[in-house]
Structure 1
Amino acid sequence: MGVREGFEELYGAAPEGVWAAPGRVNLIGEYTDFNEGFVMPLALPHTAVAAVSRREDGVLRLHSADIEGPVVELRVDELVPLTNTSWAAYPAGVVWALREAGHAAVASGADIHLASTVPTGAGLSSSAALEVVTALALNDLYELGLTGPQLARLSQRAENDFVGVPCGVMDQTASACCVEGHALHLDCRDLSIRQVPFDLASQGLELLVVDSRVKHALGDGAYAERRAGCEEGARQLGVTHLRDVSYEELDGALERLTDERVRRYVRHVVSDDHRVEQVIALLDAGDVRAIGPVLTDGHRSLRDDLRISCPELDLVVSTANASGALGARMTGGGFGGSAVVLVESTDVDTVTKAITEAFAAAGYTAPRVFPAVPSAGARRVA
């Protein structure tokens, strides 16, 4: 059953419209966004889809086709941060954030029915897709006039302040602003964006996503601990954010840090910002294959300095590279989730088979492997 039909069955009338917002995979630039650095995500074909209608009585009704349970009914004027731990906190948080930002029209409420093909717990921003699709639908229905970057910021606030996850703005910006056939270069300081052509098919290449099937939860404190460590590094170095430490200054900066943990975090963030710049330069020069070693170098940094990898993700990267991939790295918040693998189109089957067999030999759950086709950002679909 589609979301339109599901909405009608739940609420007894057709929705006013249907919207979609994609998940994302991050090509390069991890844990750099909250340090006001650079990231380079691309939108996936997988989307959260929402059928939505306005209400006039201040009630917010939420339902997910993907999660067992009845319609969640809330009052917009009674939404309180950090009180809801269910999936409904993500769309409800967007309504709260819009109202807090002065968009009083949303206080009249809405009926929302959601379905998603973005894998949860895979590091592909299923939560950001839910937030952005809700924000876009309400923006259109209530004629709020907000831009994609503004919707991303409000969605980030929903996740930070309402749900309680201290994420940066990359995931929501990718979902709201990506363009088909491109990767998005986002400067997380001024939120300027550049669409970088990333047409792998024309080069005889594919970017594979390997979902390790290891679930992670960023709310468990590990993400927050690393964010706090980065902030402590910036404080000790006398800068507002680690973005202000150039790659050329890195060695000298590290010598000034006494805490080994903080030093590792700083080294990762400054070097990953540099890797984003390297990838952009290579793509601008048309040398797509050369980004492979940069991806693998990024994985080493995530594994050894940030220490957010896991045995399954390390196995993906080592196996992929040993079986002919051009480069690979884990992507997302870590402790599970997914890796990206850059391969020649002719080697997709070989690399996929090698990874699957390596997982079986190690006794791991079989991974899910699919191509990351750079896709469109959030849009109205009906």
Structure 2
Amino acid sequence: MRVLVFDPFHGASGDMITAALLDCGADRERVACAMRAVVAEPTVETVTRAGIQAVKVHTRATPAHRSLDDVYKRLDDAAPHVPPEALAMAHRVFSRINAAEEEVHGARVHFHEVGADDAIADVIGACTALATLRVGGVAVLPLALGSGTATGSHGTFPIPAPATVAILKGSGLVTMQGNDEGELCTPTGAALLAEFSSVEAADLGGYTIQAVGYGAGSRDTPHSPNVLRAMVVETTGTPGELPQDTVDILETNVDDASGEVIGEALARFMAAGARDASAMPVIMKKGRPGYLVTVITLPEISAGLARLMARELGTLGVRRIPVVHRFVAERTITDVEVEIAGHKKNLPVKCGWMDGRIYTLKAEFDTARDWAVELDLPVRDVLRAIEDAAWNQVRNHQKSTGPGDR
């Protein structure tokens, strides 16, 4: 499986993550286009940090204080220039930050540093860069946090910042103090890595390194490279039991919301970080028709999603079934060349793996829909053509390499 590995031995910030992914081979034009939707043309340059060449990204934006809704509006305004999966991920990153800020400062907080246009551009840039790399998972090695104190909009605070600690709590990321004083990991950096992380570093096993990138921070300390390293690797795992993770299940019954409201609510739950969201028609007390709304989420953001469910649906209670173990098939996204009526295009397909073989695959709907509009064809015909081409590619690959060999 193709995996992205972050090695934040000197911490992480939003611009360092974006820069490291660009140095790893992310699509620079698509990233720049996404960031331009929020700030002026970003500058990308090569710098040196303690003898290591690295990429540095400059956004040059002015400070701003914004609520979560304000930030969401900035993200939504940028939607035409950002891949849909990257935009949804950016929403989830700021949902994590907002939950942490509310935990530290109370409800209805305003973002300060993390709500400025440069932070929003960094998040959009990092999410877009990750989407263009087309990896099947992300692992994060131990994250350096720093020590000492710093001064921000709320005055002097200890390092790591309270919001950073709140974001990392329950994320599963392994942390360490690091060798340098100062804030090595920012709240934005912590939220991005927590959102990206999908593979336990301890479970990586052996791998071959395919690409390496370094993202530079602003400081240039002479004896310690202020860089974040990212690597694209191909794992060499062996067949075996399906991997597992844990999720919370949130449920509530609703009998006073229309189908349109339910549908919009499900979309907002997914944008806020839910792993899945669904609604099932049920008969409630006194024979009233209603819906059973179910949301599957990672445990660390279940409280925030329960609040969102109550707000969007007007429900007075949300049931939480905590820490449910689930089996998760290994998945990758690969590009497949498809030809329809003389027109050729490379389109993404999501593949599910079991015992070293692809056992299921599905075309990504948004890109298939866009090409169907371009070709003036039914979407179902384009989806079928993409998946047929993908299965042909799988069969040809297996013939040439043997079963179970990637």
Q: Give the structure with higher Rg (CA).
A: 2
Report which structure shows greater RCO (CA 8 Å, sep ≥6): 1
For normalisation by structure 1, the TM-score amounts to 0.31
